[in-house]
Each structure stands twice: as structure tokens, then as C-alpha cells.
Amino acid sequence: MSNERLQELRGQVDVINMQILELLSKRASIVTEIGKLHTSMGNEHYDPEREAHMLQALEQANKGPFSNETIKALFREIFRASLAMEEQQARAKIRVQRKSKDERTVITLPNGAEFGSGTFQVVAGPCAVESFEQVDEVAKALAARGVKLMRGMAYKPRTSPYEFQGLGEPGLQIARQVADKYGMAICSEIMDQSQIPMFLDYVDVLWVGARNMQNSFLLRALGKVNKPIILKRGAGATLEEFLYSAEYIVSSGNPNVMLIERGIRTFEKWTRNTLDIGGVTVLKLETHLPVIVDISHSAGRRDIANPLARVARASGADALMVEVHPNPPVAMSDAKQQLTIPEFNSMMDEVMQMA
């Protein structure tokens, strides 16, 4: 008898479960509509005041047996799930978001080097162009190891205005001349949209530094450029903010964007920044754009370059970026992190044997 009663009660619970499920699904589709309205009006999806009102109303209506705290905890879980769904739907609409597992952007440089096609590339060069001889010495070593994209940095956004700021246009001329000599392409950091025509005369890839990641005017202007763009993650930027910055460029007309993780600011002091390698693997899931790992600015030291290079490759990134200088201790910038040419060769030995 009591067994029959148990079955009957369980049956009632099963029906209620299905009713709750149906209501949750109905609620979710209404929330999706709300999410679309928020997006079209440019609003934040999370509205804490609205959430507080809903919880208050539930508390007032609650007649037990669940305590108010339990009811609020349960509904908070529903709100959280709905918000996550709304945000995911909003992201799914942006162009840089990967829509299917095998969607990928492949960027081909004028010398044929491919980024994003599954081969592992190395981007390297001095922190800054200092002289023809300095760049030439590094370039010769890079070309000998098959590097196809060299740093040709002529504008250096330094922390202090009293430090070396780069050679400017003459630096770009040196980089171009040397790169042509060794069949390499060059990338260089652009500071302002007014420099675009001049940069187009010299470089193959325009580079936006961490400090400019959210300069939307610059990003939009680079969307009108017919050359690939490298975008660095800001030191305090979330991955979502990083992707929205890439979206500025892509939605303005330039689909050829590569992302660089360069370390984020944390409380850790033994490295210059904290390399967010988990973030790299998430980026590889979330976006179809090529991802590069900067093992120099993230670490700020040269003694861990080899293990970081291996980690970069193992993370599934499309390339690593490293600074190389003929004589790092006398470098005009980033002396502590640039590799000597023998150190660069040792790093290449390690990373290339991983294939």
C-alpha cells in the first residue's frame, strides 16, 4: 500500500519537474528576446536593480516551506544561467567569434608565410630599431632559422617620456631595407591613425600595442587598411574586451587580424607580467583569428625563454613572438628580456624539435 502511494507521489513530482522545465525554457526564450533588445539599445545585459526587484517580489510571495534564503538562492541560479545565455548569444553574433570548430582565418604574408593554417611561426626581432648594423645582425640570424616576420619597431611607447622613444621613420626605412635583404616581412607598431599612409610605405603588418588596444578610432581606421593587423592584449583587458577590440577592426572592413597575448598585470613581481596561457587556449576556442604568444613582454626576463617557448607552442597558439638583440645589456629598451643570438638559436632548437 505505502509502495503504491510512493509511486503515485513520485509520479506527481515527475510531472512537476516537466512543468518546471517547460516554464524554464519559456522563461529562457523571453530572456533571449530581452537580450536582443538590450543589445540593439546598447545596454548592459546585467541589471542589478531589476534583479533585486524580482528577488524582493519572490520573497514577499513566498509562503514556504522553503525559506526566503533558499528561494532567493534558487532564483539567483536561474538569473545567472539566463545572463550567461544572453551574453553568449550576444557574443555569438560578433564576427571574430568562431562559429564552428574548423572555422579559421589564415593570414598569408607577401613572402608566403602563413599564420593560422596550422604551421607554427616565430615572429622575432629587436625590441626597437637602433641602427642598420644592429638590425642587420639580428635579421641574418633570424632568416637563417626560417623566421618570416621580423619586428621593425620604430616608435616605442615607453613608460617614461624621458626614455628612448624610437627612431621614427628612419627606423622604418632601416627595417624595410634589412627585411628585403633577407626575404622577411616586417611588422611595426603604429601609434596614431595619422601615421597610416607613411606606415603603408614600409611595413607588411601594422601592429597595435597593448596601450592602444582600446583606441577605437585607431582600430576603426585600421579596418580600412588593406594589410594584416597585429593586435596586442591590453595589460588590464579581459579576453572579451580583447575580442571586442579585434571586432572594431574586422567590422570596419579588415578581416586579417592576429591577436597577441603579452601578459596581464597581476600581483606577481618575479615576472614583468603574468602570461595568461589559459587565456590563449580559451582564445583558440572562442575566435577563428590566429593567436600569438609574446614570451618577451610577458616574462620580462630572458632566462625562462626556452620553457615559455615550449609552453607557447604546446598551448595551440599559431606563433610565438620573441625579442632578439646582438648585445642585450646595451639595448636602448627592454635590455632584461631580449635574447642574445645564441640564446635565440637555443630557443629555436627546442621549439622546432617539438613538431
Draw the binding track, 307-346, toward ligand PEP (x: CB under 6 A; -: no contact).
----------------------------------------
For the CB of residue 127, give the shortest distance to ligand PEP in the complex, in Å.
6
> Residue 232 touches which of Mn ion, ligand PEP, none (CB < 5 to 8 A by kind)?
ligand PEP
Q: Which is nearer to Mn ion, 125 or 223 (CB)?
A: 125
Give CA 276 to chain center in angstroms: 10
Contacts 24+ apart (CB under 8 A), 129-135: 129/153, 129/154, 129/166, 129/167, 129/171, 129/172, 129/174, 129/175, 130/167, 130/331, 130/332, 131/174, 132/174, 132/177, 132/178, 134/325, 134/326, 135/174, 135/175, 135/178
227, 262, 272, 313: which one contacts ligand PEP (CB under 6 A)? 262
In angstroms, rounded to a whole number, what is the distance separating the alpha carbons of residues 134 and 240?
38
Q: Can you tell me the distance from the alpha carbon of 327 to that of 184, in angstroms, rounded to the nearest whole number?
A: 22
The site partner of 325 among ligand PEP, Mn ion, none (C-beta below 5 to 8 Å per kind) is none
Question: Does 272 participate in binding ligand PEP (rule CB under 6 A)?
Answer: no
Under rule CB under 6 A, residue 297 binds ligand PEP: yes
Answer yes or no: are the C-beta atoms of 126 and 155 closer than 8 Å: no
Nearest CB to ligand PEP, comparing residues 153 and 312: 153
What is the Cα–Cα distance from 262 to 245, expressed in whole angstroms?
15
How many chain residues touch ligand PEP (CB under 6 A)? 7
The string of DSSP letters for 30-55 reads HHHHHHHHHHHHT--S--HHHHHHHH
Nearer Cβ to ligand PEP, position 96 or 293? 293
What is the rounded distance in angstroms from the CA atom of residue 104 to the CA atom of residue 89?
20
Q: Which is nearer to ligand PEP, 183 or 236 (CB)?
A: 236
130 binds, among Mn ion, ligand PEP, none (CB under 5 to 8 A by kind): none
Residue 287, beta-bridge partner list: 97
Q: Which does 153 bind (CB under 5 to 8 A by kind): Mn ion, ligand PEP, none?
A: ligand PEP
By a kind-dependent CB cut-off of 5 to 8 A, residue 209 interacts, out of Mn ion, ligand PEP, none, with: ligand PEP
What is d(CA 324, CA 345) in angstroms, rounded to the nearest whole number?
10
Which cell goes with 168? 621614427
CB of 209 to ligand PEP, least distance (A): 3
Q: Dmax over Cα atoms in the chain, in whole Å? A: 96
**Interaction of residue 209 with ligand PEP, rule CB under 6 A:** yes
Which residue's CB is nearer to Mn ion, number 127 or number 277?
A: 127
CB of 212 to ligand PEP, least distance (A): 8
Exactly one of 123, 153, 175, 312 binds ligand PEP (CB under 6 A); which one?
A: 153
Of 107, 123, 127, 230, the residue at the interface with Mn ion (CB under 5 A) is: 127
Q: Which residue is nearest to Mn ion (CB)?
A: 127
- Please state the three-class secondary structure of 130-189 as a single string: CCHHHHHHHHHHHHHCCCCEEECCCCCCCCCCCCCCCCCHHHHHHHHHHHHHHCCEEEEE
Q: Are 192 and 222 in contact (CB under 8 A)?
A: no
Task: Please give the distance of CA 329 from its chain centroid, rounded to a whole number.
Answer: 30
List 227, 232, 284, 325, residue binding ligand PEP (CB under 6 A): 232
Consecutive H or E run containing 99 = none
Residue list 297-336, contact with Mn ion (CB under 5 A): 334
In the complex, minimum distance from the CB of residue 189 to ligand PEP, in angstroms, rounded to a whole number: 6
Question: To the nearest whole angstrom, how small is the minimum distance from the Cβ of residue 338 to Mn ion?
Answer: 7
Q: Which residues bind Mn ion (CB under 5 A)?
A: 127, 334
Q: Which residues bind ligand PEP (CB under 6 A)?
A: 153, 189, 209-210, 232, 262, 297
